[in-house]
Chains A and B, each alone.
Chain A
């Protein structure tokens, strides 16, 4: 049984930003809106910490569950809950959001009210994706996250923003059509087996479908999530979207939105379709490795710093995917932790690019050089972030990549070796880019007057860097919460029936709460 506190904490965390959005829309005056948005996002983060504080250690299943009827005739309920895996991602979301708002403080001038409102709306959608246990509810949030992002890119983006936004939208919407079809099919299959419609994923875990049907649905889901991740060869929308998006949008896109895909793999794909997951895991692992190497090599060839970071995202997400489909406890937990790490470090990278772009309005590596002397604080933050992204021991990136590689080693040595090659390449392009920007002579006279980071910008970077170090030094703070849930996912692969029973006790208790 879970710790059923009297307050619906998950719903509060999910919908507080939505209330914040309404508040922002009602307020007049730039300053008031900005402060309100920031306070709301901070409050959301604080409330989400209650999840951490009230966590039942060692519990693998769902906690803080809530359930209310929504369209009960169709078997659709508002059911939310978190396990160790979703907890990590919820906290990542609520943590990154205030930083993004803080970054946008002085950098967005056009239609600021709409911008803030969209960001808060996006937060609700993203938290919702990670806490939804009803598949229809999940789909609603999944789609809802699409629209604000579309407008963020299309309205506040770079010169080719319309094209980028549309490409982003079409790719993702295409994937979600398959997702919706798959979800309806699952509800229907549940109806066929039991005579009741249900879209509760905990119910659906127990379906035990025939293998060929599983395979069909498996590929529908893979397509939807692989586009979101994005897994090679579905990645082509990502560089466009990243390059054209405003910095805040890039941070959210890389930091959180992409995780919806990998989260989908863990939460839905593996447990719902155990048979094809095991059968086709090598295929997806190979795609992941291709993505790692391809992303790293293309990143090496970039002249635009933001594009470099974008392609590094493809490589890093490849790592996460590899960790998931290696189907080992270490690699799976590592992959979940790496999702958080990537969110933090790539988010930080995009922020660093943003700081530079705000000052110089260029992102070309060739325009920079020798910034170390001009902007020492900036350089120090950048160094730590680059090293975190490259996986230096003692920082967060190392822990994630190392655990993934340990697990992959158990699964297939060749994959592990190729993955290691990816890490070496990553260190190469990151340090090469660092050298280009910060070291050497300061040849470009336009850089002469560059100011170092101000207090607001330091306030954005400091928490991130602090977290790099905390996770790097004490990974077990997080892994201890992730491990049991990851183990449960893997157990489901091997023995679906037993686990289903485990979940069903949970569902019953949640429904009781809903009716109370």
Chain B
């Protein structure tokens, strides 16, 4: 039991930090509340350190009666979430002024959401997955409404209602799996009953239940991944919620959802089982629809955040190409699965950079309308440059990590003989170039007077530079990230 608790340490560290912040918030004077972010960052650092020592002591195992897994996959995503949360906290130092006396709660909630995501990536039991999903969701419902203005509240309530429905749908899908397997464990290391085992041994007798279950699960998780047709909330929430929260949602929440989908479908349903082709085809169709709808809708947006919202839907479609192209890991490459993981990692850098740049600009100009971005490059050159790099990466153009991500996914698609899907993806890339580069162009146009200097705060600058540097460095030298992604999915072999 203690050993298992030790393996849960990285999550516990984050939760303890969150608890400390809530308590300290009671005694810290209002002017000093910002310093609580330091506690949050320390918590994240402790979590990372704990994870490092777990790796050093070689503690990888399935633990707590197979309800949790500490494998390379969990490790990869844990570090990813720590990084994302750290970046969000640093970048929000300026923004939190708008939260009045609730700065401490904001930091604590971000940490709780992060802990939820870590749990989500590490769970291999349906109940654990569901509870972790709820922990992430409910925290984010609250965060989305943190500004308490009309638009924010509307976004939060929309998010809450749709989120509640999606949770119900996920539960329904899980119920079918339980009915088939008689257990909630995805895998059983002790040789007992498990969902993976039941499906691997299954035949057409349980096929219809499995199909319904996978549709329900995809629908429920699809809400978190923001894929069509479960995407309705995305643009509203990205627009209405506080920008750091939107950044966290667009990167962390999405990554966690894809992690759990990989876990459930790749580890549970299995790629080579008799339903393997079914769920891959389902994701292929969802991928095509998501990309197309997201990109076409994004073309007509006039607000940067809504544009990023639709772009995030389209990008989710790109991730799905990798899911559709999943093959068994036995051939040693597993391009599809590692492609998704690699894409998520590069996307994390890219989209965080984009959102923080939008936040830095919006903090100063007070507007997120695209038309107000004209000539912003003169007033805030750093933010404009970072946003441009990130937009290039989202398009998939060199010299950015996004280029490798697209290459990787397309290769995986071709490899899985999904030529039609790759063609659609390529065409969608062309469409996306119009609005991504249109925004970039808008920033660099206009010869108007160089207005007041809109330099963002020092911490924001640091995060912006770090995100852009990540995007560029992983273009020049992608090998370590590719290898990490491949190791991560080998956990499922």
Which residue numbers of A lie inside 8 Å of B, CB to CB? 69-74, 76, 136, 139-140, 143-144, 147, 151, 154-155, 162, 165-166, 169-170, 173-174, 177, 180-181, 184-185, 187-188, 191, 197
Contact = CB atoms under 8 A, between A and B. Distances in A.
Contacts of B429: 177
A144 B398 contact: yes
B441 A180 contact: no
A74 B407 contact: yes
A188 to B, nearest CB: 4
Contacts of B410: 184
Query: Which of B404, B411, B422, B479 is the most central at the interface, judged by chain A CB atoms within 10 Å of its CB?
Result: B411
Contacts of B434: 170
Contact of A184 (B411, B427, B479, B482): B411
Given A174-B430, A177-B430, A73 B333 contact: yes
B479 A69 contact: yes
B404 to A, nearest CB: 6
Interface residues of B, number: 30
A74 B398 contact: no
Q: DSSP majority for the A interface?
A: helix
B202 interface: no
Contacts of A147: 392, 397
Contacts of B408: 71, 74
A385 to B, nearest CB: 33
Contacts of A162: 441, 445
A72 B478 CA distance: 10
B415 interface: yes
Query: Which of B398, B427, B437, B445 is the most central at the interface, judged by chain A CB atoms within 10 Å of its CB?
Result: B398
A165 B486 CA distance: 41
A73 B486 contact: yes
B482 A173 contact: no
Q: DSSP majority for the B interface?
A: helix
A300 to B, nearest CB: 35
B43 to A, nearest CB: 35
Contacts of A184: 407, 410-411, 414, 422
B445 A197 contact: no
A452 B410 CA distance: 57
Contacts of A174: 430
Interface string B395-408: 00111000110011
B274 interface: no
B49 interface: no
B24 interface: no
Given A140-B403, A187-B414, A191-B415, 7 more contacts: A70-B478, A70-B479, A71-B407, A144-B398, A173-B433, A181-B426, A184-B414
A169 B434 CA distance: 10
5 contacts: A143-B397, A154-B445, A165-B441, A177-B430, A191-B415
Query: Which of A74, A147, A166 is the most central at the interface, judged by chain B CB atoms within 10 Å of its CB?
Result: A74
Contacts of B403: 140
Contacts of B399: 140, 144
A177 B444 contact: no
B423 interface: yes
A330 to B, nearest CB: 37
